[in-house]
Structure 1
């Protein structure tokens, strides 16, 4: 009950999960302190009225009532929210990536065997063999503790066997719709046990459901790094609200979707970044039918669209984008208002995305969605350049290699302009002396289309 800061942190992070093309909802489940008019209960009442995201259950909230909390949570979703595809049960001190979890579930659905029982006129069951019954997380295979001094001591009277059934640690686990229903109904016929994770393991065993181990659920606190957390679904140990917010924000970094579309280990010859406006559905469709599906023999080419938002989470336009994202899985949406004067933001956040999520391509083409592009000709140009350029001898001379403009590895190419700023007040491209006091622009490549090498992108 007293974890106000934990709930606040969840609301600011994965509790507001906005996964394009998917619908995600979060609720908090807690018990009571047994004192109807206590100051703590008054605070809870106020929080409930403000956020409308708390389900309070009538039992004393303490560690040894966790099984009661868990099974009453199962009962609530069974009775009041029975149509979700999946349910994630987690503690409030966990780091959670809904994006990574949905990616894991999507990949599982894409690879699992279809259920053919209906075709064979056999009733579908919730047996261990049923691939519909997912109960997944970090799976333990362990023994009961018998030491009298242990917090987790279990007497022989409570549990006479020498091993627990396989169970998923309680910090975070996901169940499919079918597994949730089967496990809840089975629990009505299974004796209560005070450790909730072990109890669910017993329920699963009785119901014939085999727990699935997923290594991206971490029951301990995984040391944080951006690279180390790129696939993490859950990590324990985030009782500090500021730390959870910092880590979650660093991993999400303004991108509304970024998981599973590209890999830091993908080896690409060319990655095409197509900057697109939200409403340009026909432009994106044309790109997908042309250079976006570039098939260059002996070369690997990948294309993604980058766009912003209209600032309206549930607008009709955003709903269309969500649908398009779910269908094609080739859109990266960035959390900023998409307009002409935010093009620099779109460009540099596109650079950041490929730097963090797809850093191994040899070359990157940045282009607008109204350009004709020949990936074949571009790769031919790059091949000819590689064949004729001078080798980098800095390493042989014991000189550190740099990402300077003079380095032959740092290619930034396209149609180069050498021009002056426009000072006319009526001009769309007017730049004041306060913004830019010099009389010439540095040489630059027009934004419509340009190519950069891997080293130049990172520099």
Structure 2
């Protein structure tokens, strides 16, 4: 039902292990009352050394959840990774109605997202995440987010979903891929997806339950019951959150919901955690 594809770097084995141990763990055998089935795969490029490639092969034999593209693994090639994962999703897993792209340092709540996607009001061409509006291109050639004017001349990008975590329906992913040959490989990759979506006539849908680039502290109520995703969590934080003390949110916590989680994120930003 929900195919989760996670771009990762060859050196990020601790992050991949943490995801496998927590939210990316294969679900147990389903029952009629179980949430829809999800599957998580990691997407990588070619590492710089043969020894690193041998380590990836060993990891693949052990876990069977790596997808590798025939291009160098670098931040500048993240758009190629996204192109690869979308092509693979439609070609090799076309029965999945939804694809979720998430960073490897992101907490994701697949059952909550899947339940949300089951709503009858979910559009066929869905592009869902935390939407950024009126973001200006970075013209600094020293920045890894540099966008030269020859690739994109406008003063602001169209609305797009934060690349930390976003969902595309199968129909929306197909539309993005159909538009891709007419869109330059502008980075960052989430901007490129937004440009393809605009050309395809697919409008992004905003949900405040996606954390975006803000760091929501690893608090069990916020990340376990309120948020769909949260960025910049370290492996030990993911494991502690997943296996930490139980306890559901209280009534007030649930009513405040996203507002409370955003308040925690703002507090961390102001006081440095």
Q: Which residue among 220, 230, 248 is the counterpart of 1:235?
A: 230
Residue 197 of structure 1 deviates from its aligned partner by 0.7
Residue 190 of structure 1 deviates from its aligned partner by 2.5
Q: Which residue among 90, 95, 102 is the counterpart of 1:83?
A: 95
**2:173 is the counterpart of 1:159:** no
Greater share of helix:
2
Q: Which string of whole-angstrom CA distances, capped at 9 and with x for unpartnered residues, describes residues 140-188 of structure 1?
A: 1111122344332322222111110111111111111111111112213
Distance 1:72 1:241 in 2: 26
User: RMSD of the TM alignment (CA)?
Assistant: 2.3
Q: Which residue among 113, 137, 144 is the counterpart of 2:129?
A: 137
Runs of 4+ in 1 over 4 A off after TM superposition: none
Instruction: State the SS of the aligned residue for 2:176.
Output: helix
Instruction: State the SS of the aligned residue for 1:58.
Output: strand
Distance 2:26 2:230 in 1: 17
Distance 1:146 1:76 in 2: 32
Distance 1:357 1:162 in 2: 40
Instruction: State the SS of the aligned residue for 2:60.
Output: helix
Partner of 1:14: 23
Partner of 1:110: 120
Tell me which structure has the larger Cα radius of gyration.
Answer: 1
User: How many residues end up aligned between the 2 structures?
Assistant: 238
Distance 1:178 1:208 in 2: 12
Alignment of 1:60-209 (within 5 A): 60-106=72-118, 109-112=119-122, 131-141=123-133, 142-209=135-202
Partner of 1:246: 240
Distance 1:44 1:143 in 2: 37
Distance 1:80 1:202 in 2: 25
**2:39 is the counterpart of 1:28:** no
Unaligned runs of 5+ in 2: 1-9, 256-273
Residue 103 of structure 1 deviates from its aligned partner by 2.4
What is the TM-score normalised by the length of structure 2? 0.80
Seen in structure 2, the aligned counterparts of structure 1 residues 144 and 50 have a Cα distance that, compared at 3 Å, is: same
Instruction: State the SS of the aligned residue for 2:220.
Output: coil
Does the CA-based 8 Å contact 1:17-1:98 persist in structure 2? no
Residue 78 of structure 1 deviates from its aligned partner by 1.1
What is the TM-score normalised by the length of structure 1? 0.49
Q: Which string of whole-angstrom CA distances, capped at 9 and with x for unpartnered residues, describes residues 319-360 of structure 1?
A: xxxxxxxxxxxxxxxxxxxxxxxxxxxxxxxxxxxxx989xx
My pick for the range that moved more, 139-148 or 194-203, is 139-148
Residue 34 of structure 1 deviates from its aligned partner by 4.8
Seen in structure 2, the aligned counterparts of structure 1 residues 149 and 50 have a Cα distance that, compared at 3 Å, is: closer
Unaligned runs of 5+ in 1: 113-130, 267-355, 359-459
